Amino acid sequence: MSETRDMNALGDDEFRAEIREWVEANYPEELRFFPRRILMDECRDWYHKLSEKGWLCPVWPKEYGGMGLDPGKFIIYTEEFERHGVARMPDQGIVMVGPLLIKYGTEKQKEHFLANIHAGNHIWCQGYSEPNAGSDLASLRTSAVLEGDEYVVNGQKIWTSLAHDASWIYMLVRTDKDAAKPQEGISFLLCDLKTPGITIRTIPNIRGEEEFCEVFLDNVRVPKENLVGEPNRGWTMAKALLGFERIFVGNPRMCSYALNRLRLLAESLDAFTDAAFTARYNKHRLDVHDLAASFERYAGILKSGGEIGSDVSFLKIWATETYQRITEEMVELAGDLGSYRDDLLLGNNKVDVMNQFLGSRPSTIYGGSNEIQRNILAKQVLGL
């Protein structure tokens, strides 16, 4: 039965206990601590369970079928999912598209697309980066020319995570090639991936898994009604989504998971008897606590309807570099065993040391490289 209560009214301990009890009772055992990005067909039943419970979209407002959680409750929610080893589902619709449409979409778009996200009918991927337009996103060249009631789209997107598992793509396209500034003349389109003219080619990641994709668009016809916001004003929404993405990447979830795995590894190897290791572990633990506090502050700004500023880049840097430091500590602690790709079986614990390390490597690149984030902080926050 779908959730109707205001769960923010619960005490933190009561809320945590309820989330923990339900997740432990309902999450499939075979999907715990899944070693790679999970595909929709592998987690569809779990997706529907969350949707039926009303827990699929924790931060969406309740009027749109979300839980409406405040930042503190959302952190508890993610901590409990992480503690139990719940895999990250294909969630671009939940994390990115939904909040964007709630803020900028028409009522017709909200009614149609939000319902299909809840139902699991639309699985989304992000069409932002292009060859020669990654961190310098404003230089994108994929074009969309209005012909009657349709945009005709031509171009290429790259590093499109799980596009081969998605059914829809949200993308930035250039609708005015003569705009005075590169940020101008960009529009925001929603496109069904079954549309003729779309070709998807997978790209293996560092672990040899098919996670990324190239998406080729050859005279793809997209209904004009799938434009979000005004023509040539997509950069405003792009920045909003990048803010959502940097907050999402800055979620303490990845770091909390890695810290938990480091703790299990250390307990199995009796490493807490080493004062030097214990000091390093406590530093990592405090870094994760600091990250959670910062995340709660930024999430609170969004929750209250405020705008996220350029300083959110700090959150992305802190989260991804903390994640890398923790996974490096895991490999160092595991010694020779740290080079094995398979999970390490240490007593009653199973720890995915090398998978965590490899998974942390691209985190400082995607979502806008950390070098770019430091430039943003230097120019737009510090005025250097």
Q: Does residue 343 share a domain with residue 285?
A: yes
Q: Does residue 224 share a domain with residue 330?
A: no
Q: Does residue 377 share a domain with residue 258?
A: yes
Q: Does residue 255 share a domain with residue 375?
A: yes
The predicted structure's pLDDT at residue 242: 67
Point out the least confidently predicted range of 118-127, 129-138, 260-269, 300-309: 300-309
The predicted structure's pLDDT at residue 245: 65
Alpha carbons 195 and 219: distance in angstroms, whole number: 10
Q: Are strands 143-147 and 150-157 parallel, antiparallel or unpaired?
A: antiparallel
Specify the CATH number for the domain of residue 195. Answer: 2.40.110.10
Report the DSSP beta bridge partners of residue 349.
346
Q: Is 245 a catalytic residue?
A: yes
Report the DSSP beta bridge partners of residue 190.
170
Q: Does residue 221 share a domain with residue 296?
A: no
pLDDT at residue 374 greater than cutoff 90: yes
Tell me which of 67, 89, 111 is where a domain ends.
89
Structural domain including 60 reads: 7-89
pLDDT at residue 365 greater than cutoff 80: yes
Q: Are strands 168-174 and 124-127 parallel, antiparallel or unpaired?
A: parallel
The predicted structure's pLDDT at residue 246: 64
Alpha carbons 302 and 304: distance in angstroms, whole number: 5
Q: Does residue 286 share a domain with residue 222?
A: no
**C-alpha 175 chain-centroid distance:** 27
- pLDDT tens string 298-343: 877 776 767 777 888 888 899 999 999 999 999 999 888 888 777 7
Strand intervals (E) in the chain: 124-127, 143-147, 150-157, 168-174, 186-192, 198-204, 210-223, 227-228, 344-346, 349-351
Task: Tell me the one-letter amino acid at 18.
Answer: E
The domain total for the chain is 3
The predicted structure's pLDDT at residue 180: 79
Residue 347 φ/ψ region, left for φ over 0, alpha for ψ in the -120 to 50 degree band, beta for the rest: left
- 3 state SS for 301-338: HHHCCCCCCHHHHHHHHHHHHHHHHHHHHHHHHHHHHH
- pLDDT tens string 188-218: 999 999 999 999 999 998 888 888 999 999 9
Q: What is the DSSP letter of 165?
A: G
Q: Does residue 257 share a domain with residue 368?
A: yes
Mean pLDDT, rounded, for 105-134: 94
Alpha carbons 275 and 50: distance in angstroms, whole number: 43
Q: Is-contact 261 354, C-beta < 8 A?
A: no
Q: Are strands 168-174 and 210-223 parallel, antiparallel or unpaired?
A: unpaired
Give the mean pLDDT of the chain: 90
**Cα torsion angle, 30, 33, 35, 39, sign:** positive
Q: Is-contact 198 168, C-beta < 8 A?
A: no
Nearest to 161 by CA among 249, 77, 288: 249
Specify the CATH number for the domain of residue 295. Answer: 1.20.140.10
Q: Does residue 260 share a domain with residue 224?
A: no
Q: Is-contact 160 213, C-beta < 8 A?
A: yes
Helices (H) and strands (E) in the chain, counts: 13, 10
Find the catalytic residue in 42, 79, 130, 245.
Answer: 245
Specify the CATH number for the domain of residue 64. Answer: 1.10.540.10
